[in-house]
């Protein structure tokens, strides 16, 4: 039976960082909705062009578009063992759609690690982030610097600062998170799936806590 984990947490909580660290260990592909949108943007697809305005304003891309993109991605063969989802679902409608997608061939979502980080920490994390152009690996100028400035340690591609990591867009993204994504904490708590992890610890400590929490459900 395939296994699906959903990483939940505000912008800058460390969802991408942790997914990068644990996806191999879990044997699950890392599926990031933000990375998929950015890949489409880079390739100038119709989907990328549509998503661009929303992403640049720090708003969510409409549910129907996002759900269709994830549905297609999860149908590919590398997702046969399941998936480690990062950034999806982000609204109750997306969570309902995911549950519906998994009906029939999977036992639904297996666990939802919620990486809890207070708001005041997020801005410094995001404005100091450097992202890899090729595969979206993430670094931080202070908390996780690359060995060579401007170069990804993992695939040697160029590191850049995301357009939506400007302070004013970060503030908007955090507001959107509070309004539209926070309800999912209660949604998954009620379903008995929420696994809370303290995201203020070092990256390695968060990884250890996350793997320990996931080992109780997988």
Residues in contact with ligand AP5 by CB under 6 A are: 9, 11-17, 33-34, 37, 54-55, 58-61, 66, 87-88, 90, 94, 125-126, 129, 138-140, 143-144, 164, 173, 199, 202-203, 206
User: Residue 144 carries which DSSP code?
Assistant: B
Active site annotation includes 129: yes
CB burial of residue 26 (10 Å; 0-12, 13-18, 19+) = buried
Query: CB under 5 to 8 A by kind: which of ligand AP5, Mg ion, none does 60 bind?
Result: ligand AP5
Angle, vertex CA 33, rays to CA 75 and CA 92, nearest 5 = 90
Q: Which residue is nearest to ligand AP5 (CB)?
A: 34
Task: Say which of 38, 73, 90, 125 is annotated catalytic.
Answer: 90
**CA 30 to CA 86: how far, in whole Å?**
7
Active site annotation includes 90: yes
Active site annotation includes 162: yes
DSSP string, 53-117: HHHHHTPPPPHHHHHHHHHHHHTSGGGTTEEEEES---SHHHHHHHHHHHTTTS-S--BEEEEE-
- Considering the complex, state which of residue 52 and residue 162 has its C-beta at the smaller distance from Mg ion: 162
Query: CB under 5 to 8 A by kind: which of ligand AP5, Mg ion, none does 29 bind?
Result: none
What is the closest distance, in whole angstroms, from the C-beta atom of residue 59 to ligand AP5 in the complex?
6
Enumerate binding residues for Mg ion (CB under 5 A): 16
Grouping H, G, I as helix, E, B as strand and the rest as coil, residue 31 is strand
- Considering the complex, state which of residue 1 and residue 43 has its C-beta at the smaller distance from ligand AP5: 43
Active site annotation includes 38: no
Active site amino acids: 15, 90, 129, 162, 173
């Amino acid at each position: 039976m395939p296994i699906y984990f959903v990483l939940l947490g505000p912008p800058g909580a460390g969802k991408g960082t942790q997914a990068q660290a644990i996806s191999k260990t879990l044997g699950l592909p890392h599926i990031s909705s933000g990375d998929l949108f950015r890949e489409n943007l880079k390739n100038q697809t119709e989907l990328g062009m549509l998503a661009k305005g929303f992403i640049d304003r720090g708003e969510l891309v409409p549910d129907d578009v996002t759900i269709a993109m994830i549905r297609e991605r999860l149908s590919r063969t590398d997702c046969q063992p399941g998936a480690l989802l990062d950034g999806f679902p982000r609204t109750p409608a997306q969570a309902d759609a995911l549950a519906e997608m998994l009906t029939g061939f999977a036992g639904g979502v297996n666990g939802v690690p919620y990486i809890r980080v207070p708001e005041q920490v997020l801005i410094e994390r995001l404005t100091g982030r450097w992202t890899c152009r090729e595969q979206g690996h993430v670094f931080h100028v202070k908390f996780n610097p690359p060995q060579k400035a401007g170069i990804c340690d993992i695939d040697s591609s160029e590191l850049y600062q995301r357009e939506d990591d400007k302070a004013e867009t970060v503030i908007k993204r955090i507001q959107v998170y509070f309004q539209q994504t926070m309800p999912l904490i209660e949604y998954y708590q009620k379903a008995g799936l929420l696994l809370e992890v303290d995201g203020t610890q070092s990256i390695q400590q968060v990884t250890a806590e996350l793997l320990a929490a996931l080992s109780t459900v997988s």
